[in-house]
Amino acid sequence: MKAAVIVFPGSNCDRDMAVAFERAGADVTMVWHKDTALPEGLDIVGVPGGFSFGDYLRCGAIAAKSPISASLVRHAERGGYVLGVCNGFQVLTETGLLPGALMRNANLKFICRPVDLKVETSASDFTSGYNAGDVISVPVAHHDGNYTIDEDGLAKLRGEDRVAFTYAANPNGSVGDIAGVLSENRRVLGMMPHPERAVDAMHGGTDGVAMFRSLAQGLVTA
Amino acid sequence: MKVRVDVMLKNGVLDPQGEAVRHALGSLGFDGVSGVRQGKVIELDVAEGTDEATIKDMCEKLLANTVIESYQVHM
């Protein structure tokens, strides 16, 4: 699996994501936001967590208009895989690759702790290593993770089995307890919790490993 | 030429920050504040003759997230 991780000014989970991909056997290239092209032959692009551009204007809004982001959108439109975590999820909604938006947490607090996530679907290369209904523990660390989408959009997500993860106990006010959503072609996943921070016993848990492992296996045979 | 853009959360989108401000006003003794909505004002300094359509294009592409926000342009 050939992966790239985009680095914006203010990204702070880029190396964690690269390590998670590498441990799953991926060849990882870091790509600076001012680059205009992604490396050739990529299977997946990681959009990492952090505070790109200081969260100015709206979280992820400036990053979504960075030079590299046009290439990211083209990669996804060609059927390439994209994983956006935390700020990366915010960037993906701002680019329009994923529906909805992420607003300030309902309790206005920055939340930083492990949460239980329910795997809602195993029908994607991101989640095929889990069983639907599994509960996994993955850390969250965000101030703006309150997922919102209109009723029609929510019905569409549910009808198309595109809610990847929900919170067992909603920490941030997200509609439908949604923690992560898939694109129509199921090749773009955005999620607020950090699977890349749950890939080593020293992280306190390894429930994120199955995601990177299933990607490595799925994308090799794809 | 100065242009002002007001960006507000759309009606129906819950505004947790506005709610917090409303509670704070109540605790200061300001009774009867039944709602607070918080938005932002963006001032642009643009070339003379820039038309409203261009400003609206800026709003659609960057200044507002039209999934959750509405905007008003004041030329």
Query: For residue range A71-81, what is the model confidence (pLDDT) as tens digits?
Result: 999 999 999 99
Crossing angle of helices A67-77 and A87-95, rounded to 10° = 80
Q: Give pLDDT tens digits for A169-217.
A: 999 999 999 999 999 999 999 999 999 999 999 999 999 999 999 999 8
Residue of B10, B14, B36 to mutate, testing the A interface (most A Cβ within 10 Å of its Cβ): B14
Chain A residues in contact with B68 (beta carbon < 8 A): 101, 103, 148
What is the value of pTM for the model shown?
Answer: 0.94
The SS3 assignment for A130 reads coil
| Closest chain B CA to residue A96 | B67
Instruction: Please check whether residue A163 is in contact with residue A100, taking contact to mean a CB–CB distance below 8 angstroms.
Output: no
Contact state of B68 with A101 under an 8 Å Cβ cutoff: yes
Burial class (CB in 10 A: 0-12, 13-18, 19+), A135: exposed
d(CA B15, CA B33): 15
Q: Class for domain B2-74, per CATH? A: alpha beta
- pLDDT of res. B14: 85
Cβ separation A61–B14 shorter than 8 A? no
Tokens encoding A208: 């994120």
Contact B16 A57 (CB under 8 A): no
Average pLDDT across each block of 10 residues of chain B; the chain has 75 residues. List them in order.
Answer: 97 88 95 94 97 97 96 97
Put simply, the answer to whether A93 touches B67 (Cβ < 8 Å) is: yes
What average pLDDT does the structure give for chain A? 96
Residues in chain B: 75
pLDDT bracket for residue A221 (50, 70, 90): low
Write down the domain spans for chain B: 2-74
Using the Cβ of A132 and the Cβ atoms of chain B, whether some distance falls under 8 Å is answered with no
List pLDDT tens digits, range A3-41. Answer: 999 999 999 999 999 999 999 999 999 999 999 999 999
Minimal-distance CA residue of chain A relative to B60: A94
Task: Establish if A180 touches chain B: CB-CB under 8 angstroms.
Answer: no
Task: Indicate which residues of A carry an active-site annotation.
Answer: 86, 194, 196
CATH architecture group of domain A2-221: 3-Layer(aba) Sandwich (3.40)
Q: Give the pLDDT score at A210.
A: 97
Extended strands (E) in A93-197: 101-103, 111-119, 135-142, 146-148, 163-167, 178-182, 188-191
Answer whether A168's CB lies under 8 Å from A118's CB: yes
pLDDT per residue as tens digits for the range A94-150: 999 999 999 999 999 999 999 999 999 999 999 999 999 999 999 999 999 999 999
CA separation, residue B38 to residues A91, B8, B16, B69 (Å): 23, 7, 9, 11
A83 pLDDT exceeds 80? yes
